[in-house]
Amino acid sequence: MNRLRFAPIPAGLPATVPFTGPETLERRRGAPFRARLGANENGFGPSPKAVEAMARASADVWKYGDPDSHDLREALAAHHVISPANIMLGEGIDGLLGLLVRLVMAPGETVVTSEGAYPTFNYHVAGFDGRLHKVPYRDDAEDLEALIAAGHETGARLIYFANPDNPMGSWLTGERIEAALSHLPDGALLILDEAYAEFAPEAAIPRIDPEDDRVIRFRTFSKAYGMAGARIGYAIGPAELIAGFDRIRNHFGINRTAQIGALAALQDQEWLERTRLKVGKTRDRIAAIAASNGLRALPSATNFVAVDCGQGGDFARRVLAQLAAQGIFARMPGVPPMDRCIRISCGPDHELDAFAEALPVALAGARED
């Protein structure tokens, strides 16, 4: 008898991960990157108050974290002017997406997303035996109306939509999202991924009652708050749905130091505003670097910019490889027609200096290949 057997669902899945980390790529190339501009991390860093709070907390790392994340949950509720019962903390949006899929999707049920949208969500759906139905982007943006139409056609249980979007940086107005909710299929839940909401214009944020049972929203401390390594995010949704997470979540999954750091970061809104200003200036600089090389930067409401390389995906992949050879870590959308672009994260001046130096060399090398 073979004792080393996988359960039926994972046995049918490929041994893969949604992303190859920059550390893995550095080990493969045998050298560190000069510029880390591919993972949409916040290179400007977290609030110094968060760093100080986490440093003070490190001596108590022997303690488990509060399984209820009480202090942070209360502070987030006050920040959003909602009840703590409408908030669930988790190990980043990635962890919460996995929990949500497990919580509400039965094996074999259909889930609708966009072709080329955030692949970690697809990874979780496959891991729990869901059936993915993908809708193409329209004009470099996720097509919310088409996603909802596909939900009706397929009887979807979940519909995933990110606003602002990754990997293109595009966004819809909050009013348009609010209007779309009335067209959702009966029984379908809209997943509104707002990982980049703090970088978006105010008009992009919908006004949705947290008790609206048609939608669950996700936010994170990984992007604007500069705490990607802490792995802490949160969901906003109806109290009944939020309470359901307690049935399946890892109750000690959020470490104590991350909770304390996130609370300090939330309380330092001045630092957040300074970060937003830096990101805005850096988006402009990336656009200027692209233009100086004959390329076009797409409008972005995130902390990255999609740069149109002007040709197809094969050319953009060569550009990306040429950048990596010069120590610049960047990424690109995975499907056409968006794969004509490379995606450059906002970062400090010295990393953008390295990118500006490497890009013309990369373009020349890609054209020669």
Q: Do 20-45+270-368 and 48-267 fold alike per CATH?
A: no
The CATH number of domain 20-45+270-368 is 3.90.1150.10:
yes
Residue 237: the pLDDT is 98
In the CATH scheme, what is the code of domain 48-267? 3.40.640.10
Question: What average pLDDT does the chain have?
Answer: 97
- State the average pLDDT over residues 3-26: 89
How many whole angstroms separate alpha carbon 283 and alpha carbon 280?
5
- State the average pLDDT over residues 160-186: 97
How many whole angstroms separate alpha carbon 103 and alpha carbon 12?
21
For residue range 59-99, list pLDDT tens digits in order. Answer: 999 999 999 999 999 999 999 999 999 999 999 999 999 99
pLDDT(142) > 80: yes
Q: What's this model's pTM, rounded to 2 decimal places?
A: 0.96
Task: Decide: 345 and 38 in contact? Cβ < 8 Å.
Answer: yes
Residue 161 β-bridge partners: 192
pLDDT(201) > 90: yes
Residue 315: the pLDDT is 98
- State the average pLDDT over residues 305-316: 97
For residue range 211-222, list pLDDT tens digits in order. Answer: 999 999 999 999
Domain boundaries, the chain: 20-45+270-368, 48-267
Tokens coding 173: 């107005």
Residue 1: the pLDDT is 64
